[in-house]
Homo-oligomer: A and B are copies of this chain.
Amino acid sequence: MRWSGWGDPDRAAPLPEPVVGLLRDVLGVRTGDARPVDLAGIAPAEPRLDAAELAALAAAAGGAEHVRTDATTRVRHTRGKSTPDLLRVRAGETSAAPDAVVLPGGHDEVLAVLRACTDHRIAVVPFGGGTSVVGGLAPQGVDRFIALDLRRMDALVSIDHESRTAVLQPGLRAPDAEALLAGHGYTLGHFPQSYEWATIGGFAAARSSGQASAGYGRFDDMVLGLTVATPEGTLDLGRAPKSAAGPDLRQLVLGSEGAFGVITSVTVRIHPTPAERAYEGWRFPSFAEGAAALRRLAQDGPLPAVLRLSDETETLIGLADPAALGSGSAAAGCLAVLGFEGTAARVADRRARAAEVLRDAGGEPLGAEPGEKWAHGRFDAPYLRDSLLDVGAFVETLETAGFWSRIPGLYDAVRNALIGTLSGSGTPPLVMCHISHVYHSGASLYFTVVSAQGEDPLPHWDEAKRAANDAIVGAGGTISHHHGVGTDHRDWYEREIGPLGGAVLRAVKDRLDPAGILNPGVLVPPAGE
């Protein structure tokens, strides 16, 4: 993975000329060279671990070769992949570098590392794909910390064909999990934008939601069992798909972002590989009319596996099709993308019935092309971000979810907050939005912001992001539909769940991690605040 950006360096591409023109003429981006510094030239501060501590970690992780303190490895485990994270590492700022990277080989080794870190008061940041965009990898209030990289735990442990479940290790990257399952004729059906780099453990810890969530569910719907290593021992949860035996403790671990323990095994439901996958595009006159059409599918069916709707701006810019960015080819209105999966007969039946609903709701069919284009470029947006940053543009995303009746208010409030603050600081943005996840009773909203970087993008974005978060909480949305809380959203998360909800989290954390070594400052406020 590119240390200073997203994914495979070979897939980064220069921006097409119309996009550069748009950035210059519309957003005032002074295009130029804003590329990152050289990795070789970055020297993070000396690790703050002594020889005895490193030896204890090596003993716990099964050997000195599984404890790395070289600069390159540490830089590659510094922060996550939010735009502020990237701007910092691109500038060579490595204050959040871990003191060491430790690679345990199994559950017992994780337990041993947690014990060693408790004894030595070393903080631990569980590390999967390193794709957090909410500051989930930059602990707060700690003297020194290790990144606990789970890449060695990357096995498909077992498949239960009758129950259609599989046991996966947490360090398995999503494409590898899909490939292993495909070897047995199955798919997990989880395809978030982070798919190429994110891991099974990260999906569980952060309550991930994939682009086919309407068909396969969110990752928290997929998880049937969890094993969790904590400083106080092991949690082993999930004896049935559903149970009335007390609260669902799996749902307390899902979304715990490494603050309660390290997920060392995940049992998930699996599905036979679909015989057919078909995508198509529809146009709606307005975002409101398109949203109403999506709501009809979500409430009365048939629900496609993929169901998305871009607003007018995102449709015009053509972000759904990065290759066509700036061409304005989609013309007016709002583009919806539908994806159907299953047997040929089921796909045909559901497509036909969905078409009936969408036509009745004012939609115009655009055929397969816009859908296939979206599917083809579905994991490309983060690469595009790297190219935009390189030429001096600022681009970032944020998201929320709410009940259907609150969606228009949420949309307006967040958009106005972003436009107002960034215009006020001299970098008027383009704000685009789409719905990418729908439920019976509500939907998500995903915003993309593009502007000039300006003189000092970090404080300007911080101000805009705070305004957007305030708008989300004020309009009754959740602070995150699928990015998570991390450190970035923590203050708003506490407003969302209230002081007593925060106190419950703190009580759980104190019981499982009394020394407070696990991801300090992530999700749960640091003790004493």
| Contact between B512 and A440, CB atoms less than 8 A apart | no
- CB-CB under 8 A from A482, the residues of chain B are 244
The digit string for A471-504, where 1 denotes a CB below 8 A from any CB of B, is 0000011111111110001000100111111011
A106 contacts partner chain B, Cβ-Cβ < 8 Å: no
C-alpha gap A482/B241 in the complex (Å):
12
A269 contacts partner chain B, Cβ-Cβ < 8 Å: yes
The digit string for A486-529, where 1 denotes a CB below 8 A from any CB of B, is 00010001001111110111111011100000000001000000
| Contact between A208 and B508, CB atoms less than 8 A apart | no
- CB-CB under 8 A from A523, the residues of chain B are 246
| Contact between B245 and A484, CB atoms less than 8 A apart | yes
A51 contacts partner chain B, Cβ-Cβ < 8 Å: no
| Contact between A164 and B402, CB atoms less than 8 A apart | no
| Contact between B500 and A235, CB atoms less than 8 A apart | yes
Total interface residues on A, using CB and 8 Å?
Answer: 81
- CB-CB under 8 A from A493, the residues of chain B are 245-246
A242 contacts partner chain B, Cβ-Cβ < 8 Å: yes
| Residue in B246, B256, B496 whose beta carbon sits within 8 Å of that of A485 in the complex | B246
| Contact between B251 and A255, CB atoms less than 8 A apart | no
Q: Which of A121-129, A175-183, A226-234, A381-389 contacts B (4 or more CB under 8 A)?
A: A226-234
- CB-CB under 8 A from A208, the residues of chain B are 244
| Residue in B218, B230, B241, B403 whose beta carbon sits within 8 Å of that of A441 in the complex | B241
C-alpha gap A401/B478 in the complex (Å):
33
Distance in Å: Cβ of A236 to nearest Cβ of chain B: 6
- CB-CB under 8 A from A255, the residues of chain B are 244-248
- CB-CB under 8 A from A245, the residues of chain B are 255, 478-480, 484-485, 489, 493, 496-497
- CB-CB under 8 A from A218, the residues of chain B are 242
C-alpha gap A484/B244 in the complex (Å):
5
The digit string for A162-175, where 1 denotes a CB below 8 A from any CB of B, is 11110000000000
**CB-contacts of A120-166 with B (<8 A):** 160, 162-165
| Contact between A442 and B504, CB atoms less than 8 A apart | no
C-alpha gap A220/B246 in the complex (Å):
11
A309 contacts partner chain B, Cβ-Cβ < 8 Å: no
- CB-CB under 8 A from A209, the residues of chain B are 242, 244
C-alpha gap A230/B498 in the complex (Å):
13
A294 contacts partner chain B, Cβ-Cβ < 8 Å: no
| Residue in B224, B476, B507 whose beta carbon sits within 8 Å of that of A239 in the complex | B476
* Among A224, A240, A256, residue most surrounded by chain B Cβ atoms (within 10 Å): A240
- CB-CB under 8 A from A256, the residues of chain B are 246-247
C-alpha gap A179/B152 in the complex (Å):
57
* Among A406, A440, A479, A482, residue most surrounded by chain B Cβ atoms (within 10 Å): A440
Distance in Å: Cβ of A30 to nearest Cβ of chain B: 36
A299 contacts partner chain B, Cβ-Cβ < 8 Å: yes
A252 contacts partner chain B, Cβ-Cβ < 8 Å: yes
C-alpha gap A240/B441 in the complex (Å):
8
Distance in Å: Cβ of A358 to nearest Cβ of chain B: 18
| Residue in B162, B253, B402 whose beta carbon sits within 8 Å of that of A247 in the complex | B253
CB nearest to A442 among chain B residues: B241
A312 contacts partner chain B, Cβ-Cβ < 8 Å: no
User: A-side interface residues toward B, CB under 8 Å?
Assistant: 160, 162-165, 206-209, 218, 220, 224, 230, 232-237, 239-249, 251-257, 269, 295, 299, 400-406, 437, 439-442, 444, 476-485, 489, 493, 496-501, 503-508, 510-512, 523
Complex A-B, nearest 8 residue pairs according to Cβ-Cβ distance, in ascending order: A251-B251, A241-B439, A507-B511, A240-B401, A243-B478, A207-B244, A163-B403, A240-B478
Q: Write 22 A-B pairs (CB below 8 A) sorted by A numbering.
A: A207-B244, A207-B248, A224-B441, A235-B497, A239-B402, A239-B477, A240-B481, A241-B403, A244-B480, A244-B484, A245-B484, A245-B497, A246-B255, A246-B485, A247-B251, A247-B253, A247-B255, A247-B256, A249-B497, A249-B504, A251-B251, A252-B504
